[in-house]
Amino acid sequence: MEQVLSLAMLALAIALLAVLMRMHSRLADIGFDPDGDTSHSVHQVAIPVRVAMSVITLAILLRAAERAQADLFSLGMGLVLVPMLAWLNAYVWQFKATLSGTDLTVMTPGFRERTHDLTRLIGLEDDLIVTWHLRFQGGEGCWLLKYLSGRNTLRRALTEAQPHY
């Protein structure tokens, strides 16, 4: 039972860290002018998806903690799961796609931002249940999460780029 509580506390600490990082990233948005440039929009993972990811992670960690008490293999698998789930939660809570005119800036899995010119878009594929795969001239590509705030605005911008592919 003590291990379960330890893992639950770790999961809560990860969630708190993600929330604090999120709050820090919002400080730059305080000066937002709603009557300003409408061609600029920021899209982040929808709140229900974030919450679902956190709850699923907590359930997995609690189940792994129960199993880890039974044998050494389960303990090892639990130790492998913790950093993977921490990264996945941090990515879901931090993911951001920014549309500014014809430029689309997307966060990579390495938590770096990469800018793509939508006028160079040559392909848009509905890859997985949760992503779109964008292909650009020159062989560049990126995955864009579907369940974002302002999804319709983003989808419209991608559709307007359609004559280029």
The predicted model scores a pTM of: 0.70
In order of 47, 75, 85, 119, the CA distances from 72 in angstroms are 36, 5, 20, 54
Give the tens place of pLDDT for each residue, 21-38: 666 555 444 444 444 444
Nearest to residue 64, comparing CAs of 84, 50, 88, 48? 84
Of residues 105 and 35, more confidently modeled: 105
Give the tens place of pLDDT for each residue, 124-164: 888 778 888 888 888 888 888 888 988 888 888 888 876 55
What's 96-164's CATH class? mainly beta
Using pLDDT thresholds of 50, 70 and 90, give the confidence band for residue 106. very high
CB burial of residue 93 (10 Å; 0-12, 13-18, 19+):
buried
Instruction: With H, G, I as helix, E, B as strand and everything else as coil, classify residue 37.
Output: coil
Report domain extents, the chain. Answer: 2-23+41-94, 96-164
